[in-house]
Amino acid sequence: MSFSYTEPQADGGETHQVADDRIATLTTQQGIPVADDQNSLKQGVRGPALLEDFHFREKIFHFDHERVPERVVHARGYGVHGFFELTDSLSDVTRADLFQRVGERTPAFVRFSTVAGSKGSFDLARDVRGFAVKLYTQEGNWDLVGNNIPVFFIQDAIKFPDLIHAAKPEPDRNFPQAQTAHDNFWDFVSLTPESFHMIMWIMSDRAIPRSYRTMEGFGVHTFRLVDVEGRSTFVKFHWKPKQGLQSVVWNEAVKINGADPDFHRRDLWDAINGGNFPEWELGVQLFDDDFADSFDFDVLDATKIIPEELVPIRVVGRLVLDRVVDNFFAETEQVAFCTQNVPPGIDFSNDPLLQGRNFSYLDTQIKRLGSPNFTHIPINAPKCPMAHFQQDGHMAMSNPKGRVNYEPNSWGAAQGGPREDPVRGFTSFAETADGPKQRVRSESFADHYSQARQFLISQTAIEQKHIGDALVFELSKVERPDIRSRVVSHLLNIDATLAETVADGLGLAVPDRAVAARAPI
C-alpha cells in the first residue's frame, strides 16, 4: 500500500502525515493497515462513536493495560548493557565457565537503582544504590544482585518486610516519599541494633554518590566457589570503579534533586553515548573454612565485612558498560534479577538473608511480570543453549517441540531429549547441616557495634562530620523524642563523641546509658 507523504512543515504547512515507500504503513496489532488514525468511527458527522471500531478499541484497550506493578523495592532504576572480561583465571577454585579462560568476554546487563523511592522519585535521595549484574554465561545466567554498600540492615530475611515497610512512606500520610528521615524508619532502626553498622554507611557520603559510574558494588553475602572436585572456597565479590569513588555533599544533593531529578540516569546515558564507557574491576576475597572459623565475626552475617587487610582482594576481571538500551520498558523495567540464578561452580552460603532472597525474587517477579514465562523475554533469556520441559502458562513463547514433554521417556535420542547431565550439571556443595529445628539466631551474630565503630574511624575528619550532620538532619525530622534518644543511646556504643555531637545538634541530653551492647537473641 502506498500513500503520498508530505514532510511536516516548521512554518505550519501540511500536517497530515501518511505512509509512502519510505515510511511504513501503520497497522493494528493484527497487521490490518490503518487508513485514519485521527478520528474514531462515528454514525454521522457529529453522531455517537461505534462499538464496531476495532482500531479505536484495540488502541485504547492496549493503553489501559500499559502499566505493570513497579518493583516492591528498587523501583527506580536504570539499566545498560556491557560485558565482563576475565583477566585472571579462577580455575584453581571454581569450575564456573565464565571464570576459566583469560580474555574471554561474557555479555552483561546492569541495573543501578535506589531502594526506597517510587519509580518517579529523584536520583539523589540518601539511600542505598542497587548494583544488579546479569551475566549471560555459557552455562546459564548468573545474577550478582548487589548494592553499593557492602553490608545490610538486617541479618535474617524474615525482617525484610518490616524493614521496607518502615523505610517506605508511612501508610496513613504516604510521605516522605523517598527518604528515611521519618519516625517509622528510625523507630524500626532504634529497635534493631544489628542495623547500626549499615546506618553508619547510610549516613555517610556513600549514600549520595556523584554518579552511578563512581560507585563501588558488592555482592554483600559470603558465597561459595566450587571446583571440579567439589571443593568449596568462600568468596565475597567486589566491583571497584576505574572512575574512582566520588560522592556529592548533602547541599549539592538537595539542589540537584530540585534542578534535575534524573541526574544519575542522564549522566550514565550521556557518558555511554559519548563513548566514555564506565568500567569496574571485579575483585574477590577468597577464604577457607579455617579462616571463617577464626574470624571475630560470622561470615554468614550480612551486617559484617571481611576487612581487606585480613583477606586482600584479588582482581580477576573487568566489567565495561558500553551500550544503552533500545527501549527502557522492554529491558530495564522487564529485567528480572534473582540471587538464586547461579551457574555450576558458584553456590550459596547459609547466610539467612541470602537464603530468604533466593525465595523472594522469583516470587515477586511472577507477580510483577505476570507469568512464569518472563524468562522468555529477551532481556531475561539465557544466551546459551537451553532445553527443558517447562510449558504453557501465560504468553508461552517456547514450548517443548514434538511429542515428548517429560523425562525419563522411551523416545530415544532423536525425539526424547533433553536429558540430565551428571558431569556438566549443577551440583550443590555437599555441606553438612545438623541440629534441632528451631527459630534462632546464632550467638556469633551478636556484636552489632564493633564494625560500625571501625567504619566510622576509617573515615576522614570531614567525612565523619558529614555522618554527624546527616544523623542530626535525619533525626530532626523525627517527631517522637524517645525515638531520637534511643538512636543516640545506640551511638554511645559506637563512639561517645558522635553520640554527643548528635545529641547536641538535636538539643537532647546524652542518655545516661547506652543500649545493651549485646542485644538479646
The site for ligand HEM (CB under 6 A) is made up of 71-74, 77, 111, 113, 130, 132, 145-147, 152, 157, 160, 220, 302, 335-337, 353, 356-357, 360-361, 364-365, 368
Here the cell at position 1 is 500500500
Check whether 105 is labelled as a binding-site residue: no
Residue 362 or 517 with smaller CB distance to ligand HEM: 362
Q: Which of 356, 377, 86, 380 is nearest to 221 (CA)?
A: 356
Catalytic choice (74, 182, 448, 490): 74
Least Å distance between CB 497 and ligand HEM?
30
Four-CA torsion 56, 60, 63, 65, nearest 10 degrees: -130
**What is d(CA 68, CA 330) in angstroms, rounded to the nearest whole number?**
12
Check whether 67 is labelled as a binding-site residue: no
Least Å distance between CB 157 and ligand HEM?
4
Residue 55 or 304 with smaller CB distance to ligand HEM: 304
Question: Nearest to ligand HEM by Cβ — which residue?
Answer: 130
Least Å distance between CB 296 and ligand HEM?
21
152 three-state secondary structure:
coil
Residue 264 among the catalytic residues: no
Q: Which of 250, 151, 195, 209 is nearest to 462 (CA)?
A: 250
b/e map 291-316, b = 16+ CB within 10 Å: ebeebebbbbbbbbbbeeeebebeeb
Residue pair 141/340 in contact (Cβ under 8 Å)? The answer is no
Residue pair 2/21 in contact (Cβ under 8 Å)? The answer is yes
Least Å distance between CB 211 and ligand HEM?
17
Check whether 5 is labelled as a binding-site residue: no
Distances (CA, A) of 469 to 73, 204, 416, 459, 462: 27, 9, 66, 14, 10
Residue 148 or 233 with smaller CB distance to ligand HEM: 148
The radius of gyration computed from the CA coordinates of the chain, to the nearest angstrom, equals: 27
Residue 77 or 241 with smaller CB distance to ligand HEM: 77
Q: Counting Cβ atoms within 10 Å, is residue 514 exposed (0-12), middle (13-18) or buried (19+)?
A: middle
Q: What are phi and psi of 55, to 5 degrees?
A: -70, -45
Element (H, E) at 54: helix 54-64
Please state at what angle helix 183-190 crosses helix 481-494, rounded to 10 degrees.
40
Least Å distance between CB 28 and ligand HEM?
32
Residue 215 or 483 with smaller CB distance to ligand HEM: 215
Distance of CA 76 to the CA centre of its chain: 10
**What is d(CA 167, CA 492) in angstroms, rounded to the nearest whole number?**
23
| Whether the bond into 408 is cis, omega within 30 of 0 | yes
Residue 197 among the catalytic residues: no
**What is d(CA 298, CA 302) in angstroms, rounded to the nearest whole number?**
9
Using CA of residue 192, residue 195, residue 197, residue 202, what is the dihedral sign? Answer: negative
Residue 77 or 209 with smaller CB distance to ligand HEM: 77
Q: Counting Cβ atoms within 10 Å, is residue 90 exposed (0-12), middle (13-18) or buried (19+)?
A: buried
Least Å distance between CB 272 and ligand HEM?
17
Count of CB atoms situated within 10 Å of the CB of 108? 22
453 three-state secondary structure:
helix
Here the cell at position 126 is 540518601
Residue 358 or 485 with smaller CB distance to ligand HEM: 358
Catalytic choice (55, 81, 141, 147): 147
Check whether 231 is labelled as a binding-site residue: no
Active site residues: 74, 147
Q: Which positions make up the binding site for heme?
A: 71, 111, 160, 357, 361, 368
